[in-house]
Amino acid sequence: MSAESLVDRESLVSADAVADDVLIDVSGLCVDYGLGDGAVHAVVDAELTLRRGEVLGLAGESGSGKSTLAYAFTRLLRPPGVITAGRARFGSSVNLLTADQRQLRGLRWNDIAVVLQSSMNALNPVLSIGTQFSDVLRAHRPEMTRAAREARSGELLEMVGIPADRLGNYPHELSGGMRQRVMIATALALDPAVVIMDEPTTALDVVTQREILEELMALRDRLGFAVLFISHDLSLLVEIADSIAVMYAGRLVERAGANAIFRAPRHPYSLGLLSSFPSLHGPRRVMEGIPGSPPDLRDPPAGCTFHPRCRFAFDRCRHDPPPLLDLDAGTRTASCWLQDGITPVPAELARPVPAERGRPVAGGGQPVAGGGGQPVAGGPPLADATPTGGQP
Amino acid sequence: MTVIPIDRADRAGISGGPPVLEARGLTKHFPVRHGKSQAVVHAVEDVTLALPDGGITAVVGESGSGKSTLARLLAQLIKPTAGAVLLDGEAAPSRQRYARQVQLVLQDPFSSLNPVHSVRYHLARPLQIHGMNGGSLDSLIADLLTRVSLTPAETFAAKYPHELSGGQRQRVAIARALAVRPRVLLADEPVSMLDVSIRLGVLNLLADLREREGLTILYVTHDIASARYLADVIAVMYAGQVIESGPSAQITDEPAHPYTQLLLSAAPDPDRAQPPSLAGRGTPPNLIRPPRGCRFHPRCPHAMQVCAEDRPPAAEVALGHSSACWLHAKGLSPAQSRPLPGADRNTDQAPGPDAGPGSGPGEEK
C-alpha cells in the first residue's frame, strides 16, 4: 500500500497534462434537510469540479450550503440531511453517491481527507497526538510496523512545523494553531489526492492563520494534492485559491478564476460580497455592502434567491430562477439573468478580466493578485460623503 | 506611500477638544490559581487612551491582547487594579449616572438579548430604569428602532429575538444602548459574529450615529481593515499594552511598530502587490509571566539587547502617531542595540505543558 501511494504521488506531480485530471466531479447535486413538504433545500443543483493540484475556494455566508455540499459528496452528511438528486464522481470510476461503506472506507483518508472547522473538538482530548496519528495509520495501513508508524507520525508532525518530540503531548498542551496543524498533518497522513478544509483557520488569530496557510500552500506544491477550501472570507480566498465558487442560499451563483472573480465579478452577489471587505490601501471610501440579510431557506424567495437584495433585479428575476450560464468562452460560469447575452449588463458586472499573472510555482505558492483593472469596491471618495467624517 | 491629508489629522481628533472618556494608566490583573501558588494574569497593563468627543477610536488586537478587558474597564463593569477612568476629566460618578453616559454593546447578539422577551421589552427597560423624557414610551421605542434602521418600528417592537437575523439583533442591541442617550458607545467586536454581507451595514450605522448625533465610539476589533474603514484613530494592543496609536490610515499605510507591521503582513489582502511575507512568527506570550522589557521582543525580528530589559517608551513618530518601540529611541549604547540572539525567536513558541491555554484565563479561546 505504501509503495502504491508513492507511485501515486509521482504521477500526481507529472499529471498536469493528463486529460482526466478531474478528481471530483459533482453535478446537479441537491441536498435537503428533512423530508416531504417541510424539507429545507440546503443545496440546489450544485456543480463542482476539482482538478488535480487545484486549490478551489468555496465562498459563502453561514447557511449558504457550502459545508453541506462538501459533506454530501464525501458522504459525511448525517440525517436529517438527505441527498435527493445529482451525481458525484471521484476520478473516472468511483460513484461517490452509490458507494457502499466498504468502498467509502477505502476512499476516505487514502484519497479524500477532511480537515474540520474546530480542531478543538476534532482531536480526542484523552489521547496523545502520537496515539491519534497511530490510530489512523493502524486502521488504513495495517501492514506497517509499530516502529514505522512512529517514524511516520514524527515525520508528519515535522512536516507541519512542530517538533517530533511533541508526539507525546495531549491536545490541551498545544495552542490552537498547533492543534489545527496537527489536524492538517493527520489529513495528509496517507497522501490523499484531495483535501477538503472546512474553515480551517477561522478560529485562529490572523498571524497564526497566515503561518498555517503558508505551510499548507508549500505542502500543496510539494505533494500535489488538491484542496477544496471552504471559507466565508472571500478576501482570503482571492489570495490563496486558483479558482473560486461562490454560493448563496444553497446555489452556486458564480465560479471563475480567483483573479477574475476579484477584478471582474459577473454575479451581483459576488460584487456585493467583494465590496463588503474594506481595503487596507488607498483612499477610504464609503462601501455599501449588501442590503438586507440572507433569506430564510424554509421559505426562499421565488425566482432568483438573491433578487430581494439585488440592486439590478428586474422582472424576470422575481419569477424565473436563472440557470448557470457559461461565460467568457466557457472559462467561467454565473447564474444571473443579466448575463444571458440579451439583457444589457451593468458596467460593474462587465469589467474586462485582466490577464492572469503567473503564479510562483514553489515557495508559498501564493497567487499574485493585483495588476490591471480597478478594485471592485467602490463608492464616493471619503471626502465627499463619509462614514468616518467629522468636521471638514 | 500615501500622503495623509491635513483634514484627516483634524478629524482624528488630535487637535480636537478635550476627551470625553479617558483611560489613564489603566491596569487590570486577574488572579488565577497557578499550580500551588497564586498568580495573576496581566491582562491590561498601564493603558492610557483618550476618546475624543465625537470621534471613533478603534482598538485592534489579537485574542488575549486585552482589548475586551479594556472595553469592560471603560464600561466600569470591572474595577481596575490601578489607574483611573475619567469622564470629562473627572473621576467617574456613580454606577447609574455613569451608565447614562457610557454604554457597552457586546459581541454576540445571540446571547446578549433575552430570548423570552420582545424587542419592545428590551428597549423599554433602560427607558424605565433611567427615566425617559421626550415622549411616551411607545414613541421613544419607535424612535430608537428608526434610528437603527429597523422599520417599520411597530412590527419590530413586537418581535422576539429568534425572529430576527443576526444583523437585526445587533441593531436591537445598539438601540438598547442608545436608549439612555449616552455620549459614549463602547462596541466590543460588534460585527464579528455577523455574516460578512451584513457587517458593513452595522459599521455604516455606527458611522452614521457619530455623524448625525455626535456619538463618541470605541470600536474594539481584531480586523484591522474594518478599523481603518470606520475609525479616525487606531490603537494597536499587544499582550495587554497599547503599542502603537495614530490616525487610522497612517497606521495601516506606515506602521511604525514591528508588531503592527506583522499584523498587517498577515492580514488577508487581495490588493497585495507581492505574495505576503510574514514580518515575524510565533504566538503572543503567556500573560501570567509576560516577557521582561518589551512584551513583543521574543517575536520581534528587530529585537535588541535593550528590548529584553526595559519597557520601551512611547515615541511620537509623526503628528499624533506614537509607537512604543526602542527602534525609535536615539542614543542607545552599542551594547543596548546589539541584536538579540534569535535562535528560538522566530519559531512558533509553543506553550510548555505548564503554560498551556488550559492553565488560566490568559487565553480567551
Domains annotated for chain A, with CATH where assigned, are 2-232 (3.40.50.300), 253-349 (no CATH)
Q: What is the pLDDT of residue A87?
A: 92
Interface probe with B: pick from A126, A388, A391, most Cβ of B within 10 Å: A388
pLDDT at B307 over 90: yes
- B214, closest residue in chain A (CA to CA): A390
| Terminal CA-CA length for chain B | 37
Digit-coded pLDDT (tens) for A128-142: 999 999 999 998 899
Q: How far is A227 from chain B (nearest CA, A)?
A: 19
Predicted confidence (pLDDT) at residue A58 exceeds the cutoff of 90: yes
pLDDT tens string B144-168: 999 888 888 889 999 999 988 888 9
Q: Which H or E run includes A29? A: strand A22-33
| Whole-number pLDDT of residue B317 | 93
The yes-or-no verdict on residue B226 having pLDDT over 50 is yes
Q: How far is A385 from chain B (nearest CA, A)?
A: 10
The residue among A195 and A19 whose pLDDT is bigger is: A195
Question: What pLDDT does A356 receive?
Answer: 59
pLDDT of residue B331: 85
Q: How far apart are CA B94 and CA B235, in angstroms?
A: 28
Cα separation, A360 vs A242, in Å, equals 12
Q: To which H or E segment does residue B198 belong?
A: helix B196-213
Alpha-carbon distance of B132 to B313, in angstroms, equals 46
Confidence (pLDDT) at B198 = 85
According to the model, what pLDDT value does residue A161 have? 86
- Asked if A211 and B348 come within 8 Å (Cβ–Cβ), the reply is yes
Query: What is the number of alpha carbons within 13 Å of residue B359 lying toward its C-beta?
Result: 21
Looking at residue B17, its pLDDT comes to 62
Residue B365 pLDDT > 60, yes or no? no
Q: Do B198 and A289 touch (CB under 8 A)?
A: yes
Alpha helices by DSSP H, A143-277: 146-159, 176-187, 206-223, 234-240, 258-263, 268-274
Task: Report how far apart, in Å, the C-alpha atoms of B25 and of each of A374, B56, B177, B227 are.
Answer: 45, 21, 27, 23
Q: Chain A residues with CB inside 8 Å of B355's CB?
A: none
Across the interface, do A176 and B348 touch by the CB < 8 Å criterion?
Answer: no
As a whole number, mean pLDDT of residues B10-34 equals 76
- Give tens-digit pLDDT for A9-54: 334 444 444 446 899 999 999 999 988 888 899 999 999 999 999 9
The pTM assigned to this predicted structure is 0.83
Bridging pattern class, strands A22-33 and A40-51: antiparallel
Nearest CA in chain A to B252: A280
Contacts of B205 by beta carbon, 8 Å cutoff, 6+ apart: B148, B149, B171, B174
The whole-chain average pLDDT of chain A stands at: 83
Percent of chain B past pLDDT 90, that is, above it, reads 57
Arithmetic mean of pLDDT over chain B: 85
Inter-chain CB proximity A234 and B196 less than 8 Å: yes
Model confidence pLDDT, tens digit, residues A108-129:
889 999 998 776 678 899 999 9
Among A295-299, B204-208, B243-247, B339-343, the least confident range: B339-343
For residue A8, the distance in angstroms to the closest alpha carbon of chain B comes to 30
Q: What integer pLDDT is reported at residue A178 of this predicted model?
A: 87
Distance of residue A129 Cα from the nearest chain B Cα, in angstroms: 14
Question: Is B81 a residue whose pLDDT tops 90?
Answer: yes
| Per-residue pLDDT reduced to its tens digit, B50-72 | 999 999 999 999 888 999 999 99
Position B342 scores a pLDDT of 64
User: What pLDDT score does B16 carry?
Assistant: 52
Among B271, B277, B354, B365, the residue to mutate for chain A (most A Cβ within 10 A):
B271
Q: What percent of chain A has pLDDT over 70?
A: 85
CB of A353 within 8 A of CB of A254?
A: no
ipTM above 0.85, yes or no: no
pLDDT for A322 beyond 70: yes
Q: Which of B204, B229, B233 to mutate to test the interface with A (most CBs of A within 10 A)?
A: B229
User: What does B144-158 look like in DSSP terms, one character per residue?
Assistant: HHHHTT--SHHHHHT
| Mean pLDDT, range A143-168, rounded to an integer | 91
| H helix or E strand, kind and range, residue B101 | helix B95-101
pLDDT for res B132: 73
Q: Cβ of A178 and B208 within 8 Å?
A: no
- What pLDDT is recorded for position A21? 87
Of A308-312, B2-6, B103-107, B231-235, the one with minimum mean pLDDT is B2-6
User: How many CA atoms lie within 13 Å of A161's alpha carbon, on the beta-carbon side?
Assistant: 22
- Going from the C-alpha of B127 to that of each of B106, B173, B206, B215, B362, the distances in angstroms are 19, 14, 21, 18, 37
Closest CB to A280: pick one of B252, B284, B348: B252
More confident residue, A203 or B94: B94
